[in-house]
């Protein structure tokens, strides 16, 4: 039995005035709404909603060679790993490599002490960082519109650290320093 039907049953059993109850709920909701407006929380919620709406309109490009957004020629300072301007450091889009080759290069050069095993899980690329025969980390590369959770759940269940990188999200540059920092942090 749902909560609403339980309330209705309780109301009819005890002769509660449903009109009074409904008016009380309406009044409380209106008062709460006014408090939100007065505190500025409504403006913050509206702004957050607009941000989420704009982020859900992510553009997905070709799988093997995603394109950066229109490049204006201006560069963001090094260490700026997301935003409208391409960072002034090596990143996925200025490396001259497709996304898989770019990540493979970083893994090979910066994590040479690990054996990297490349795999696929339901068509999505992943890389297992192995040390002394044990899985130390799984890194998954996903398209921006993916909400895949299978590999993440499998890693959580086995206690294996897990990271994911999106390779085609506009404004997310996957700068080398960013990728290396996240992986080192997880290892």
Number of domain units in the chain? 2
pTM of the predicted structure, to 2 decimals: 0.59
119-144 residue pLDDT tens: 998 889 999 999 999 999 999 999 98
CA atoms of 4 and 24, how far apart (whole Å): 16
85-118 residue pLDDT tens: 778 788 898 899 999 999 999 999 999 999 999 9
For residue 175, give its domain range: 75-186
Strands 162-166 and 124-131: unpaired
Do 63 and 150 form a contact (C-beta atoms < 8 A)? no
39-70 residue pLDDT tens: 766 666 666 666 655 554 433 333 343 444 44
| Same domain for 92 and 44 | no
Torsion, CA 121, CA 175, CA 58, CA 83, rounded to 10: 160
| Same domain for 99 and 167 | yes
| Same domain for 17 and 94 | no
Reduce the DSSP state of residue 116 to 3 states and report it: strand
| Same domain for 30 and 88 | no
């Amino acid at each position: 039995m749902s909560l609403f039907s339980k309330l209705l049953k309780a109301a009819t059993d005890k002769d509660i005035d449903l009109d009074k109850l409904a008016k009380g709920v309406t009044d409380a909701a209106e008062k709460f709404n006014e408090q939100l407006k007065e505190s500025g929380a409504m403006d913050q919620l509206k702004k957050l909603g607009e941000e989420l709406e704009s982020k859900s309109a992510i553009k997905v490009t070709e799988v093997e060679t995603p394109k950066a957004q229109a490049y204006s020629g201006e560069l963001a300072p090094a260490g700026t790993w997301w935003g409208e301007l391409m960072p002034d450091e090596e990143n996925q889009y200025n490396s001259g490599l497709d996304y898989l080759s770019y990540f493979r290069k970083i893994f090979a050069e910066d994590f040479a002490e690990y054996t990297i095993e490349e795999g696929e899980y339901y068509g999505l690329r992943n890389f297992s960082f192995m040390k002394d025969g044990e899985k130390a980390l799984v890194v998954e590369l996903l398209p921006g519109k993916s909400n895949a959770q299978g590999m993440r759940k499998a890693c959580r269940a086995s206690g294996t650290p897990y990271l994911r990188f999106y390779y085609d999200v506009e404004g997310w540059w996957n700068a080398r320093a960013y990728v290396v920092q996240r992986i080192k942090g997880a290892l």
